[in-house]
Amino acid sequence: MTRGQRRGRVTVRVLAAAALAGMAAAIFWAGPRAGRVAQGEGETAVFFGDSITEYCDLQTYYPGLRTVNEGIAGDTTGGMLERMGRVYGADPSVVVVLGGVNDLLSGYSAGQVTANLRTIVQNIHDNLPNARIVVQSIYPIADSVDLYYTDIICAVNDALRAMAAELDYTYADVYAALQTADGRLDGRYSDDGLHPNDAGYRAACPVVRAAIDG
């Protein structure tokens, strides 16, 4: 590969990241805001994350749970760390964590994202010692550039899987349910290459529900 070819691939990669990040930002400003009140009956489960959480209709996909949606579109793991008091205030029996893709699309390393997610889990343990914790894998994306982002996402997911026993949480491998053979997001499960559509949520949620029910 020539220097020009490498430069071209890097440029395309940056443009692809900018396009995905811009799409997430547009949805942040244009999309409906999720309610932050408990809905349903049964034990309380707080879903904590970014737009993939915010735009999930929890009562549709998780019937039988009393749910609180603490997803905020465009949020990063750093932003999640700053608003953990909302999770504690709900006094949940279960906390379902999903975060990191916005960090990676903004240029943060797999190590930085993993470290933040570790801190999030440790803080939940410290403040909600009786709550069960489910950590979802980062979901696949429609990576069109040499599987660059796919490789980074997989690195974080491998670390999350490895940390599960150490930090006493259940790892929910949603990535495996949504991927194609090469690790990209299956086009059947998203209309924009990043966020699940109804079919995507229906494929993902049974994995998460099995982890919740343990």
Three-state helix/strand/coil letters over 37-53: CCECCCCEEEEEECHHH
Query: pLDDT under 50 in the chain at which residues?
Result: 2-12, 14-15, 18, 25-35
* E strand map for the chain: 44-49, 66-71, 94-98, 132-136, 170-172
pLDDT of residue 17: 52
Check residue 6 and give its pLDDT: 39
Q: Identify the pLDDT of residue 20.
A: 56
Kindly report the length of the chain: 214
- What is the Cα–Cα distance from 67 to 44, expressed in whole angstroms? 6
Tokens encoding 173: 């491998």
The whole-number pLDDT of residue 9 equals: 45
pLDDT of residue 161: 98
Number of structural domains the chain divides into: 1
Residue-number span of the structural domain to which 38 is assigned: 3-213
Q: What is the pLDDT of residue 65?
A: 94
pLDDT at 27: 42
How much is the pLDDT for 146? 78
Q: How far apart are CA 11 and CA 24, in angstroms?
A: 20
Helix or strand or coil: residue 184?
coil
Predicted pLDDT at 144: 77
Contact of 81 with 116, CB cutoff 8 Å: yes
- For residue 77, the domain's CATH number is 3.40.50.1110
For residue 15, the model assigns a pLDDT of 39
The structure's pTM equals: 0.85
